[in-house]
Amino acid sequence: MIRSSRFIGLVALLATSVLGLSACGGTTKSGTVTILFGTAADSLDPGFGYTTQAAEPDWIVYTGLLTYRHAEGKAGGELVPGLAQSLPKVSADGLTYTLTLRPGLVYSNGKPVKASDFPFTLERSMKLNWGGKSFFTTNIVGAAAYDSGKASTISGIKTNDATGKITIKLVSPAKSLRPYGAFPNVLAFPSAGLVPKGTPMTNEPNSPPPGDGPYMFSSVTANKGYTLVQNPRFANQHIPDVPAGHIKTFNIQIVSTPQQEATQVLSNKADNFDPADEIPGSLLPQIQSQAGNRFKEVTTAQNFYFFMNTKTKPFNSQLVREAVVYGLDRPTYAKEAAGFLTPACFFLPPQIIGHPNAACPYGPADGSPNLTKAKALVQQSGLAGTPVTVWGENTSPRKEYADTYAQELNAIGLKATEKLIARATYFTTIGNAKTPNVQTGFADWQQDFPNPSDFYLLVDARSIQPVNNQNFGQVDDPHIQAALGTLYPVPASKLTTVARQWQGLDTYVAQKAYTAVFGYNKSPEFFSNRINFPSVIFHPVYFGDWTSWTLK
Amino acid sequence: MAVEPGVPAGTRLPGAFEAVPLAPEERHIAGIGPYRLALRRLRRNRVALAFGALFLLIVGLCLLAPIYSHDIAHIGPNVGEPNATVHVGGHTRQVLNANGVPIGPTWHSRFFFGADNEGRDVAVRLLYGGRNSLQIGLVAALLTIALATIVGLVAGYFRGIVDGVLSRAMDVIWSYPAVLLGVALGTSLALGGLDLGLFQVSGSSLGIPTAIIGIVYVPYVAKPLRGQVLGLREREFVDAARAQGYGSLRILVSEILPNVASTIIVFVPLIVANAILLEAALSYLGAGVRPPNPSWGTMIADGIHELPGAIHETLVPGIMLVLTVLGINVFGDGVRDALDPRATVRIER
Amino acid sequence: MARFVVRRLISMVAVLVAISILTFVIFQVIPNGDPALRLAGRTATPENIASVRHAWGFDKPIYVQYLRTMRNIFDGSVISYTQEVNVEDQIRGDLPATLSLSIGAGVIWLFFGIVFGVISAIKAGRFTDRALTVLSMIGVSFPVFFLGALLSYYVGYKWGVLPQGNYVPLTQDPVGWLTHLIMPWAALSVLFIGIYARVLRNNFLDTMNEDFVRTARAKGLSERQVIIRHVLRNSLVPIISLWGLDFAAVIGGGAILTESVFNLQGVGQYAANSIQQLDVPPVLVITMFGAFFVVLLSAAVDMVYAFLNPRVRLSG
């Protein structure tokens, strides 16, 4: 017979455990969260996936040597060690990186993580033609040779499986076009998230390889949906800056109509609206009034601008370029984006170090266009009446931006005609030197990583190439080149020390009106009432940080 | 009449009239010709006439687009005024509100049918868009009829290798799923334009969707025509003409063509209606008229994209399109009834 | 008869080959449509682009590319440009939606087409006939995507009666499968019901005037027996063959518009998206698949006619 004290103790134990269970909301359903996406990931396989819809799940399934801090705002852009023990040791000339793998790491399938998995992962991403592989081929010694089939491994990476040591040699600055001070950011790409050696060298969208992260894929149907569950092996590896996550299961579904997505989240039938999708303007009033406590608009690191070809008429004239910026009708562009646009004039978005604090040189960012001043400047330049071809994409809202821009150009005294083409060939068309009349048109840039050098590719004279050019304005300014020469080599960890110089450069670019920036993207943070909204982290690089979500 | 392959049984083609040449002494006692008879029957068909008038009314309105745009609405079809204000029922509203939702019909001279998602006047775009849609539909139909007549006549009359080649070409176009063919060609040609050496057509010209739609429908007319010609060439009057020493071309034009004329006439409204519908479909899928030019199809597509807001953006061009096509269809039905009340001709899919 | 069949089969294969070549050529002439440029991404260097071009075989001459693609299609290994996924797996995944839409709509329009056609014919000239004629004329004049959008907006959004868009697999949720398909079926069928009712009505009336019907009546059969045994059977034959062709056309590509409006993620929508992204392999496969269907069914129809009517065999 159980003595009374022990009996009471037992009852107390039972009571607290019952109460504890209900406090967790512990029914089978509550551990599952449904997320709706309007567009499927290009592929969930980290060796191929490049879109935000792929990055969002991949960064918590595949951890790289380095990763980003799980925080909001500027803190979220900070690099922290992932599978590496600490941040890399960089040689004095900035060309040799040394890291050591943490001991005792395993993948979600139990296989141990080895140092040699790192070069294998990069080789696989290159074999699979990952859209950002140029970051590897231009920066790492021997990567380009591997990519073109001349070598069977990347000669610039040496690893020791016994000690876990990894040494990476970078291409010397004279040859490299790409920012090598920002190389640590390259190590944090989900495509550099380690996968086991021996994973097949083909894109596996339906059965992505195992990774070493807080979550893992449990079932995938490409283009229809997938499920993420917590990786039971992760918590024991005690990686300090990568949280294990709270939600047990994520159920992701592709629905394809933003209107349906929004209605379902509003009525709490689904839990999250993909931040990369647009909420239909007609539903916004309803959402703001009914769900104001679970809805927010966040500016992201993506700029929208009109490029102007500085090598041909009329935009080779600074006066005409200034006129264009004076005449930008930013309030209308914001309306055409249903309010998901922050009016702006500087090339670097606010989350990026180097975003100027100064006032806009040619009219306030949130003001109405100054057409009188613009017309006067065009007259002064003597180039009024010049025919101009305006390029744009033919899908909303980019189509509307191009239409409004063409209207503005006509209003300030130029003769604009539009050429709207399909998104699939847009950038390859305007980036091809053989395409005639690429004078001005729409362009945008979403950060690959939170470093200003990523954006400055677009105004760097050295990146001008005959095909796949991204410097559409053909900007070739010795002042910019000199500044980039000193700023590119600065290592990512020391970025804040050169913030003032980057700000100065960005202000200079705005004053020369090389790009007609009209805004930064705003994304919706929209949840059902099941999610604890204050605890949600909106990550500056990956948008939804799913490891931070908790249920109420 | 023998059933020709490719034409379902039960379909009777209006070939009931044979243009048998009358001997001189017969002419002054000839009865009313078959076409006069048909016209009389058509005139009695009030419903068909009413719908035909509806179609003409719509065409007329669209032709008046510049006047409406200039004198009444004071705004062009591709010009947006998103920040303008309109006074409606005592309230002053912005044409495009802060969330990008356009204003609905004001029933006044400006923005009569409301605005679209760029702040453009829907009524003005409706009329200009109508011009484009109707132009494409009518010209494409003309192209189809012309090509199909030539192909049908030549293939059916000359037979042999010529027939083989033409029929295979028709088969390829006919078997190619029409919408896919239209979208593929539309997308490809819009990007590159058409460069045939002799003349060039830019990718954004209306000629591209016109040509595509025109070609897609050729087999649907050419095949029945060919079937009919196959039968006609065995008739006595053709033998007689041959005996008289007529050349092939002359026989085709003076003997065969008049006999298939009524079939062709019956096809015209059918093809026009389908051409207008196909243009709308292609524009909806982004492979038809290029922005910023309006057409009813692109307007409906823009409207659908705006849903669930601004239903007027979808309804206005859609209803206009339906009324136009309905007008053509009912009138065309009346023409068919008038030419041969017992005939049933349709487009085989 | 055998020779006829063989001839049709040969021409069928020839047509399919011609269609595949035509599709390939259409996409080759696009300026800046070089798939390697698009595949390589915005940050690619010229060397990256060259390696992509080589890996995919775009540096080979056109006919070699064509033959390689065709070979990949036939052994089921062709992959798409934009996502590097196996096209045939994708199509297999999208097929249930398209089949559910097409077969369901096909059954509905055949049934209602016949019913309305017979009613129209029996009450020829009277109000019911005229009303049905007007309705069918309106149905024929409605663009299917416009009708679909209106249904989706009013019935789905405003009144919330039926779910808007998206496809729910039958195996997952039969009730959901049905409710999600009702509006797409309605939008797609309206067009054909109108046509079929009119064709059946006219065939019916024509057949009523035929000699054999008079004979049947003279034999003493009741009007009902006459209608069902003789008139209806005869007027239905062309309808069935029409249905076969229309159904093939819908599967092959006509369903694109309905699938796009309701986001059913079917084969047609996959084809339309692929065209917009200039992704050639899925377009090739789906076009050939659609054309194959059309050609097969039309050949079958012709063969049945040839079997029934020897004169056609000889003259065709």
pLDDT confidence of residue C290: 85
Per the CB < 8 Å rule, is B284 touching C145? yes
Does A452 reside within a domain?
A: yes
Number of domain units in chain A: 2
Region C211-233 average pLDDT: 77
Give me the CATH number covering residue A400: 3.10.105.10
- Name the most confidently modeled range: B144-158, C45-59, C246-260: B144-158
Q: Is the pLDDT of residue B342 over 60?
A: no
Does A294 reside within a domain?
A: no
Nearest to A133 among C48, C54, C263 (CB): C48
Query: Percent of chain A scored above 90 by pLDDT?
Result: 71
| Structure tokens given for A122 | 């990069």
What secondary structure letter does DSSP report for B341? T
Q: Which pLDDT tens digit goes with each residue over A126-141? A: 999 898 899 999 899 9
What secondary structure letter does DSSP report for A285? H
What letter represents residue B78's amino acid?
A: N
Which residues make Cβ contacts (< 8 Å) with residue C198, sequence separation at least 6?
B344, C117, C120, C133, C136
Strand partners, B204: none
Region A424-438 average pLDDT: 89
Are A250 and A311 within one domain?
no
Choice among C24-28, C237-241, C278-282 with the minimum mean pLDDT: C237-241
Per the CB < 8 Å rule, is C33 touching A43? no
Residue A83 C-alpha, separation from nearest chain B C-alpha, in angstroms: 44
d(CA C264, CA C180): 9
Does A3 reside within a domain?
A: no
d(CA A271, CA A268): 6
Does A265 reside within a domain?
A: no
Q: Which pLDDT tens digit goes with each residue over B275-299? A: 999 999 998 888 888 877 899 999 9
pLDDT confidence of residue A289: 93
Mean of all residue pLDDT scores within chain A:
89
Is the C-alpha dihedral spanning B91, B92, B95, B97 positive or negative? negative
pLDDT confidence of residue B22: 53
Are A55 and A95 within one domain?
yes
Q: Is the pTM of this model over 0.80?
A: yes
| Partner chains of A (3+ C-beta pairs under 8 Å) | B, C
Q: Which pLDDT tens digit goes with each residue over B243-257? A: 888 888 888 888 888
**How many other CB atoms are there within 10 angstroms of residue C155's CB atom?**
17
CA distances from C44 to A171, A371, A428, A433, C48 (A): 17, 39, 11, 15, 6
pLDDT confidence of residue A179: 52
Does A2 reside within a domain?
A: no
Does A279 reside within a domain?
A: no
Region C214-225 average pLDDT: 79
Q: Is the pLDDT of residue B28 over 80?
A: no
Residue C90 C-alpha, separation from nearest chain A C-alpha, in angstroms: 8
Residue B9 C-alpha from the chain's centroid? 26
Region B221-233 average pLDDT: 87
pLDDT confidence of residue B27: 52
Query: For residues A468-496, b (16+ Cβ closer than 10 Å) or e, as one string?
Result: bbbbbbbbbbeebeebbeebbbbbbeebe
- Name the most confidently modeled range: A451-465, C252-266, C289-303: A451-465
SS3 state at A360: coil
Region C3-31 average pLDDT: 84
Nearest to B100 among A339, A418, A419 (CB): A339
What letter represents residue A49's amino acid?
A: G
CA distances from A436 to A308, A404, A425, A439, C32 (A): 14, 22, 15, 9, 12
Q: Is the pLDDT of residue A541 over 50?
A: yes
Region A73-96 average pLDDT: 90
Interface test with C, best of A44, A126, A127, A134 (most C CBs within 10 A): A134
Residue A181 phi/psi, 5-degree rounding, is -65, -25
Region C289-297 average pLDDT: 83
Per the CB < 8 Å rule, is C46 touching A466? yes
The alpha helices in B176-217, defined as continuous H runs, are 178-192, 207-216
Residue B173 C-alpha, separation from nearest chain C C-alpha, in angstroms: 8
pLDDT confidence of residue A21: 38
Per the CB < 8 Å rule, is C237 touching B177? no
For A434, name the nearest residue in chain C, comparing CA atoms only. C32
d(CA C48, CA C55): 11
Are A245 and A362 within one domain?
no
**How many other CB atoms are there within 10 angstroms of residue C161's CB atom?**
12
Do the Cβ atoms of A66 and A184 come closer than 8 Å?
A: yes
For A12-68, the DSSP string reads HHHHHHHHHHHHTT-STGGGEEEEEESS--S-SSTTT--SHHHHHHHHHHS--SEEE
Are A97 and A165 within one domain?
yes
Is the C-alpha dihedral spanning A448, A454, A459, A462 positive or negative? negative
Q: Which pLDDT tens digit goes with each residue over A475-512? A: 999 999 999 988 988 888 889 999 999 999 999 999 99
- Strand blocks (E) in chain C: none
Does A230 reside within a domain?
A: yes
SS3 state at C79: strand
pLDDT band at B183 (very low <50, low <70, confident <90, very high): confident
**How many other CB atoms are there within 10 angstroms of residue B253's CB atom?**
13
pLDDT confidence of residue A200: 94
CA nearest to C238, candidates C200, C191, C206, C205:
C200
Per the CB < 8 Å rule, is C276 touching B348? no
Choice among A425-429, A433-437, C152-156, C234-238 with the minimum mean pLDDT: C234-238
Q: Does B80 touch chain A (CB under 8 A)?
A: yes
Query: Percent of chain B scored above 90 by pLDDT?
Result: 29
User: Residue A320 sits in which domain range?
Assistant: 299-523
Q: Is the pLDDT of residue B3 over 50?
A: no
Do the Cβ atoms of A196 and A209 come closer than 8 Å?
A: yes
| Partner chains of C (3+ C-beta pairs under 8 Å) | A, B
Give me the CATH number covering residue A187: 3.40.190.10
Choice among A407-416, B128-137, B220-229 with the minimum mean pLDDT: B220-229
pLDDT band at B12 (very low <50, low <70, confident <90, very high): very low
pLDDT confidence of residue B24: 56
Parallel, antiparallel or unpaired: strands A538-539 and A341-343 = unpaired
Contacts of residue C283 in chain B, CB cutoff 8 Å?
Answer: 180, 184
Query: Percent of chain B scored above 70 by pLDDT?
Result: 85
pLDDT confidence of residue A509: 96
Q: Which pLDDT tens digit goes with each residue over A229-265? A: 999 999 999 999 999 999 999 999 988 678 888 988 9
pLDDT band at C253 (very low <50, low <70, confident <90, very high): low
Which residue ranges make up each domain of chain B? Answer: 130-294
| Structure tokens given for A49 | 């996936």
Are A219 and A312 within one domain?
no
CA nearest to A194, candidates A159, A221, A228, A218:
A159
Compute the half-sphere exposure of residue A245: CA atoms within 13 Å on the CB side of its CA. Answer: 26
Q: Which pLDDT tens digit goes with each residue over B31-72? A: 677 788 888 888 888 888 999 999 999 999 999 999 998 888
Choice among A355-369, C22-36, C84-98 with the minimum mean pLDDT: C22-36
d(CA A100, CA A107): 17
Are A357 and A397 within one domain?
yes
Residue A424 C-alpha, separation from nearest chain C C-alpha, in angstroms: 5
Length reported for chain A? 552
Choice among A412-421, B15-24, C117-126, C173-182 with the minimum mean pLDDT: B15-24
Q: Is the pLDDT of residue C19 over 60?
A: yes
Do the Cβ atoms of C59 and C53 come closer than 8 Å?
A: yes
Residue C235 C-alpha, separation from nearest chain A C-alpha, in angstroms: 44
The alpha helices in A196-302, defined as continuous H runs, are 258-266, 284-290
Does A244 reside within a domain?
A: yes
> How large is the greatest C-alpha to C-alpha distance in chain B, in angstroms?
83
Torsion angle of the four alpha carbons A426, A431, A432, A437, in this order, in degrees rounded to the nearest 10: 80
Are A330 and A456 within one domain?
yes
Interface test with C, best of A125, A207, A467 (most C CBs within 10 A): A467
Do the Cβ atoms of C19 and C291 come closer than 8 Å?
A: yes
Q: Does B202 touch chain A (CB under 8 A)?
A: no
Location of structure tokens 């009914």? A290
pLDDT band at B9 (very low <50, low <70, confident <90, very high): very low
Q: Is the pLDDT of residue B14 over 60?
A: no
CA distances from B38 to A199, B14, B41, B263 (A): 77, 12, 5, 13
Between A309 and C225, the more confident residue is A309
Q: Which pLDDT tens digit goes with each residue over A183-195? A: 999 999 999 999 9
For C17, name the nearest residue in chain B, comparing CA atoms only. B172
d(CA C67, CA A137): 32
Q: Is the pLDDT of residue A421 over 90?
A: no
| Structure tokens given for A453 | 């050098």
Q: How many contacts does A have with B, using Cβ atoms within 8 A?
A: 83
Are A155 and A192 within one domain?
yes
Region A298-309 average pLDDT: 95
Are A509 and A542 within one domain?
no
Per the CB < 8 Å rule, is B281 touching C272? no
pLDDT band at A39 (very low <50, low <70, confident <90, very high): confident
| Structure tokens given for C301 | 């129809």
Are A88 and A149 within one domain?
yes
One of 3.30.70.330, 1.10.1200.10, 1.10.3720.10, 1.10.600.10 is the CATH number of B130-294, namely 1.10.3720.10
Are A236 and A213 within one domain?
yes
Q: Is the pLDDT of residue A474 over 70?
A: yes
Q: Which pLDDT tens digit goes with each residue over C153-204? A: 999 888 888 888 788 888 888 898 999 999 999 999 988 888 888 888 878 8
Are A313 and A357 within one domain?
yes
pLDDT confidence of residue B321: 96
